[in-house]
Structure 1
Amino acid sequence: EFLLGHYGAGAEVPRKVAIGRNFPGRSALAASLEEIRGGPVSLFVPRWGEYAHLVEVAAKNLRYFVEISELSRARRGELSAVFEELGAALGLGEPPRRLEMVDISNIGPKSMVASLVVFDDGVPDKSSYRRYRIKTVKGQDDLAAVAEVAQRRFSRVKTAVEKKPDLFLVDGGPNQLNAALRKLENAGFGGQAVAAFAKAPD
């Protein structure tokens, strides 16, 4: 399947293809490769030398790829269950696949910054990570900082510059949650799913 997928995707089929000693379905593979190539293809089993080494390396890489793929499928299954539980707990219509989380940090007595991390199907989407320097808030005001980040983030979603999350998580409790909800409702995102999370104490 791997060879047919590789050559069927447009890679040039060579006249000779080295395969492993116990390769199954040799006749069917040769016929399929000949059809793709439009000419004869010879399959051979190298017993020593460079080709034998390449076949051995390819077999090891393929086994590794299969193992990783199986682990990935298992992990996706576990994550799907987590997303379903999270969606049910929050009363969402569907499991949230894209999550954005905002964390507010204080820098000295007068400055604040916010970090936004994004997960897509449980995988960090680092290209979507953002860092905001709070501009409109004087002093330490977490509620106003959360509201500012929500407004700035969704102004880019509104203009289709960035994707809309399935769930927007803010750092804090009910007060921070309500601040984000009010700002999003005023911006036209009243239906956006929002939740608050409190960091565990050190």
Structure 2
Amino acid sequence: MTVEKQKIISKIIRPATCLIFYLDKGWLSIQVFFIRQARLMKREKRLFPVVSTAPEEMTSFILQFYNRKNNVLPREVLVPNGLDKQVLSDILGIPVRTPQRGQKKDLLDMAQKNARIVLEEKFRLLELDERKTTGAMQEITDALGIPAGHKIEAFDHSHIQGADLVSAMVVFTDGQPNKKLYRKYKLRTVDHADEAASTREVIRRRYTRLLKEHAALPDLILMDGGEIQLEAAKDVLENELGIATPVAAMVKNDHHKTADLLASAGDQHLHLDPKSQGFYFITTDSR
């Protein structure tokens, strides 16, 4: 920690948590500072695409963040302007404030600067890597043995301590993120971490709607999981909805990092070339 940072929080005695966000190009960058005994004890960051409005996403994040099991509440929470502090305070049972001056205001400013820097770095890397995804779609469809296409929809389930289940859908056109088409689904029929049930619900909801709207289907659907998600997605698409869109699973290695593709349960992994654009795509952009 720099001398300047230490000086900012040197007189903040009460345990506090600072949560700040920075929004740009449809992405939300969140910084969480944990202040204990006048020291910055820990810092967390989050990056994700915005589906609703930034204040709504931030409010939802804060409530889920403090709903985690065994999470200890601070004496107060510091947030930026634009959030309904009274609602947050009533739910959390602790003061939620937006400081206008002094060291706490300086702390918010520092956190927002960090949030901006993190998001700008992400965009910089995406721009530098854009050329690497140009042929990714072709390589992936060739590896799967399916016709060449342009549009991929990829799904990833998440939860906090087994609750607050959400499935995010990201969309890629010719290997590039299409953020306007991103969607977030709060699961309605699943109340615990269940990969198969979560997959069935989100696939059913997404593609039932596309069929009703006579909208174009993607050329490929990717599930960020193994055989369980793959089979659940195929079952709903083929047996319930009559959709023949190819589905593949992004499988993880022993380090829990996406490392390959799986076309069907029981099959061998495709063993994509680690130096290929297709491998780069599934291990970075589509997660």
* Shorter-normalised TM range: 0.5 to 0.7
Corresponding position of 2:179: 126
Q: Distance in 1 between matches of 2:189 and 2:195?
A: 12
Quote how far apart the aligned CAs of 1:196 are.
0.7
Identity of aligned residues (%): 37
Quote how far apart the aligned CAs of 1:95 are.
1.7
Letter in 1 for 2:188: K
Corresponding position of 1:87: 141
Matched, 1:97 2:153: no
Matched, 1:167 2:232: no
Match of residue 136, structure 1, among 177, 189, 197: 189
RMSD: 2.3
Identify, as 1 or 2, the structure richer in helix. Answer: 1
Letter in 2 for 1:88: D
Deviations 1:166-190 (A, max 9, x none): 0011121112100000011133334
Any runs of at least 4 consecutive aligned residues in structure 1 with deviations exceeding 4 A, and if so which? none
Map 1:22-171 to 2 at 5 A. Answer: 75=131, 79=133, 81-92=135-146, 94-160=147-213, 162-171=215-224
Matched, 1:181 2:212: no
Letter in 2 for 1:96: G
Quote how far apart the aligned CAs of 1:79 are.
4.6
Deviations 1:97-129 (A, max 9, x none): 100110000123333100000011122111110
Provide the aligned length of Structure 1 versus Structure 2.
127
Higher mean alpha-carbon deviation, 157-166 vs 179-188, is at 157-166
Quote how far apart the aligned CAs of 1:147 are.
1.0
Corresponding position of 2:123: none
Could you tell me whether the CA contact under 8 Å between 1:107 and 1:113 is conserved in 2? no
> Secondary structure of 1:119's match?
strand
Letter in 2 for 1:127: K
TM-score (norm 1): 0.56
TM-score (norm 2): 0.41
Q: Structure 1 residues 132, 82: CA separation in 2 closer, same or farther (over 3 Å shift)?
A: same
Corresponding position of 2:124: none
Higher mean alpha-carbon deviation, 142-151 vs 79-88, is at 79-88
Q: Structure 1 residues 126, 81: CA separation in 2 closer, same or farther (over 3 Å shift)?
A: closer
Identify, as 1 or 2, the structure richer in strand. Answer: 2
Which consecutive unaligned segments of at least 5 residues does structure 2 have?
1-126, 258-287
Corresponding position of 2:248: 195
Could you tell me whether the CA contact under 8 Å between 2:165 and 2:191 is conserved in 1? no
Q: Distance in 2 between matches of 1:126 and 1:79?
A: 16
Q: Distance in 2 between matches of 1:106 and 1:134?
A: 10
Quote how far apart the aligned CAs of 1:199 are.
4.7
Quote how far apart the aligned CAs of 1:198 are.
2.7
Q: Distance in 1 between matches of 2:186 and 2:214?
A: 20
Letter in 1 for 2:200: A
